Structures are given as structure tokens and as C-alpha cells.
Structure 1
Amino acid sequence: MTRFSTVPAPRGESPEPPARPSVRSIARALRVLRIMAAPERSEWSLFELCQAANLPKATVHRLLGTMIEEGFVEHARNPGYYRLGLEAAIVGHASLERRKPEASVDRILTDLVRRVQETVSVGLLSGTSMLSIARTHPSGTRHADVARGAVLPAHVSSGGKMLLASLPPERVAELYRGRHALQRFTPKTIATVPELMRHLAIVRERGYGIDDEEYVTGVRCLTVPIPSAAGPSHYCVGLSAPTARATLTQLRIAVRILDVAAVQLAPYFVNGAAPAPD
């Protein structure tokens, strides 16, 4: 049965508006999926999802039932808890594969590795999460590895903080609305949203982000935005290194090198999309 009638309305009568899917239900389901995709945790109870999504219990329960049928959500090991299903992984993997950098980007990153002698990467901000979409290591050196495709909370990532700082403060406040505490990973992790907002003001002023052992003890990272002519950038380029090789002073010296690479990378990264492979 077709959803929309192709029969013209009788003369003199106004056609009824076509039936349309419930945009609100789709938006709510996507909101729930986005919450479940947060890197801070892997399983959620119905009550927790209702609280986080600010939706009634019956609504979330109905949405979960539909998404379980479609494979995007599944029951977790703990009774009464839910987690993302394999269909969500398939869609996410497809999105990541379509963001593989082309050969020209690899050449720029390889040259950057040669200059800084540390691991370099390109990241993408999505909501309050940071996604690693390209990563290149120097040969023969010990490196702190975060694999391509890894998703980190933005508040512990030098790139996440840099790109959050490039947004208007009111937009950042909207992204973290309803949250106060932030997940801790090390004693240096920014632990609250107000603290994060104060830190972003500093990042906004200096123009680069630093992770000073905030995600992994013994590792420091430096990141600059990849410039965009279409508003705040969604992409950034940075380096990570063991603290023994990367003092804060050394990182600040490397800002200029990263800025040059960011300008070289800019034509290949447009907000909302990344280049297709060669």
C-alpha cells in the first residue's frame, strides 16, 4: 500500500495533507541513541535514559522496543539495562569508513610526523565526543596510542576542548545542559561543567588545546583547529607524546608547526564532511 495517494482531488476540494512520519518520534529515538553512544558508559537503565533524555518512561520504553526490533539497541547483561546493538555499530563503522583521509592527507600527516617526531592525528567533534579519524605514528618510538575510530569525551581531549572552545559559549552550555559532573579519568581531569566552561575561555583566548595528563597519566597532547571558511571548525590536528618527551613548554613551541599543517589540511576537511579516499 502506498503512503501517498496519486489520485487528484475532485474539483473544488482541497487535497488533504499527505501523511508524514512522526518527526518528533524520530528525533526522540535519535536523542536516546546519542545518549547511549556517550563514551562515558556502555549500559543504561530505563530510568537513566528517561532522566538523560528528559522523556516519559512510556515513550522511552516504546522507542527502545522499536530499536531492539531493528537491532540498534539490545538488552545488556545486567537485567533491566540496555546497550547499543550491532546495527548501530554497522552504521557507525560505515560513517567512519567514509571519513578515511585521502592520500594527500596522509602525506601531510607523514610530513608532520617527520617534523615533530611524535604521533599526530586528525579529530572530529560530534556533540560532546571527540572522534579520531586519522592517526600516524613515527617509526621506532614509543607512543601512546588511541586508535583511529576511538571516541573520547571532549572534556578530556585536547582536540575536544579546542573545538568546543571554537563554538559560541551558549552552544556549549546547550550541549552540556542538565549535566554538572563530568567523568574523571585521572586526578587532572576537568570534573565539572562550570570548570570546563572556565577552561574553554582560556583555550578560546590562546587558540590551542592541551591535554595535560587529563585522560591518561603520563601522556600530553596538543591540538589546533583546522581552519574553516564556513564557521567554527569541526576538525582539528594534534600531537600526543609521553610526558618525558613533551613538557608544556615544548608543546607550546610546537603550536606553530601544527598551525602550518592545519592550513595545509584545510582544503581536505569541510565542515560536515571529510574527503573520500583516492
Structure 2
Amino acid sequence: MIPAQSTQKSFDVLRTLAAHGATGASLAEISEAVALPKPTVHRLLAAMVQQGFALRAATGRRYQLGPEVYALALRSQSTVGLVETWRGALMRVAERTGDSAFLMVRSGYDAVCLAKQDGLVNVRTLTGGVGGRIPLGIGPGSLAILSTLSEDEANTILAHNDRRLRMAVPDLPESLPSWVERIRADGFAQSGGLFLAEVGGVAVPVPRHLGVPECAISTATLASRLDEPRVAEVVAILREEIATVIGKTAGA
């Protein structure tokens, strides 16, 4: 591999380790996920272990994220600051709606859950919780983020994510460009049962402002709770809380 490709594959390995969580991933699982031969993956993992970005489990047969990843995250004031900025809003959204609330942030071609506040109604989510990532194009939070991008940039992302999107919903990519366009017009995204059976959600994008990545505040609840009046109510709450935070940060 040329250096740029090697760097990209190293990131893919780290994301695979993150996806497997505490159970870790075997060499074979990582090799399949990143589409590289086992010897190549083994060399990448050896370098990561040496630098603290990966750990070998006690059995020696599985790999996990290493402590250096956590240490770097703790030193990232931009991420910490973003979470602290929106933590209060998430708490209020969860309290006012009874649903779980999430801060979703763009990370390349994906959306990452940076923070979550449980509501009275807890359901299974696409990200699995804080730190989870999904391809842009799946779920209301990521769709809301896509709607803040130009049409060309959004379509480029959707084309890049095509295979992953089809794995979730086979005919999804064909409908996404028009779906994103409608979200741009409406100012919010919603889904009910498409991505996860009986699970629905609503999301409103955060207006872009200096130094802040594309992000959205979203909710997750039972799809049966999201009739039209209920969606309008949740959207109003999300917009109100977002406006409150933007107003405070603008005046700081």
C-alpha cells in the first residue's frame, strides 16, 4: 500500500475495533472488515499496540482499542466543549418530550453520537449510544446533518456510503437525495420504523456557526408515539432548545 492508503486503512482498523467494543475483534474479523490480508492487518495492529492505540486481550486472540485513544479524546477540548455546550439542552429535551435525546456530529462520511440523555422511553438506537457511529444517510440525526450541506457535497457522501446504506435498507440510496431535499425545505428530519423496527425519531440540524462541525439534536422513541401532531411538538421543542443554546453562545 502507498502511505495514504495505509493511513486510511489504519483508521478503518481503529473504527473496527471501536465497533466491537469491549469484546474486541479477532484478526480474521478485522481483516474481513477492512478488506486487507491478515499479514497486513497484523503489521498495522502491531504498530498500534506499540503506540498504545490498540490492546491485545488476555487470550492474545482479540484486539481492543488502547488507552491512548481515550487519552487523546480527553485532551480534545473542542469535543469536550461541544458536549458541555449541549448537555443542558439534551437534558431539557429528554425531560420535555420523554424521549431520549442525542447530540449527533459529522465525522467525515459518518455521524457520531457525542452525547446522550435518556428519557422516560428508552429504545434501541442505531448508534448503540455515546461513541457509536453510523454512515451519513441512516437515521434522522445524520439526515438532518446532510441537509445542512450543499447538494453536491451531500450527493458525494451518499455515493461514497452507497454500499453501507444498501446493507441497512437495500433500496434506500435511490430515495435519499429527494428525502434530503425535503428535509432542507422542512427544516427537520423524521423516521419511523424504517431503520429499526418500531423505533422512530425526530432531528433538527444546528445552524452552522464559526468553529463548530455540522451537528444535529435528535430524539428516539417508539414509532407509534410519532403521529403528525407529536412530530410538530417535538420539532418545536428541539428548535426552541437549539435557539436558546445558540443565543447563549453568540452572546458569550
Normalising by structure 2, report the TM-score: 0.69
TM-fit CA distance, 1:248: 4.6
Give me the whole-angstrom Cα distance separating, in 2, the residues matched to 1:156 and 1:68: 32
Structure whose residues are more often helix by fraction: 2
5 Å-filtered alignment, 1:24-173, equals 25=3, 27-36=4-13, 37=15, 43-45=29-31, 48-49=34-35, 66-67=47-48, 69-72=50-53, 85-86=65-66, 89-90=69-70, 93-94=73-74, 95=76, 98=80, 101-102=83-84, 105-138=86-119, 141-145=120-124, 146-173=128-155
Is 2:166–2:173's contact at 8 Å kept on the other side of the alignment?
no
* Matched residue count: 232
Which residue does 2:242 correspond to in 1?
A: 262
5 Å-filtered alignment, 1:192-211, equals 192-211=172-191
Give me the whole-angstrom Cα distance separating, in 2, the residues matched to 1:245 and 1:151: 25
TM-fit CA distance, 1:207: 1.6
Shift in alpha-carbon separation, 1:86–1:171, aligned structure 2, 3 A: same
Which residue does 1:237 correspond to in 2?
A: 217
Shift in alpha-carbon separation, 1:214–1:256, aligned structure 2, 3 A: same
5 Å-filtered alignment, 1:13-24, equals none
Stretches of structure 1 lacking an aligned partner (at least 5 in a row):
1-23, 52-57, 77-81, 271-278
Shift in alpha-carbon separation, 1:91–1:46, aligned structure 2, 3 A: farther
Q: Which letter does structure 2 place at the counterpart of 1:148?
A: V
What percentage of residue pairs aligned between the two structures are identical? 17
Q: Which letter does structure 2 place at the counterpart of 1:239?
A: T
Give me the whole-angstrom Cα distance separating, in 1, the residues matched to 2:171 and 2:211: 29
Give me the whole-angstrom Cα distance separating, in 2, the residues matched to 1:170 and 1:88: 36
Is 1:35–1:49's contact at 8 Å kept on the other side of the alignment?
no
Which residue does 1:252 correspond to in 2?
A: 232
Give me the whole-angstrom Cα distance separating, in 1, the residues matched to 2:49 and 2:137: 31
Which structure's CA Rg is the greater one? 1
Is 2:105–2:213's contact at 8 Å kept on the other side of the alignment?
no
1:90-118 deviations in Å (ceiling 9; x for gaps): 3575359735733x644333333332222
TM-fit CA distance, 1:263: 1.3
Is 2:55–2:65's contact at 8 Å kept on the other side of the alignment?
yes
Normalising by structure 1, report the TM-score: 0.64
Is 2:189–2:203's contact at 8 Å kept on the other side of the alignment?
yes
SS in 1 for 2:221: strand
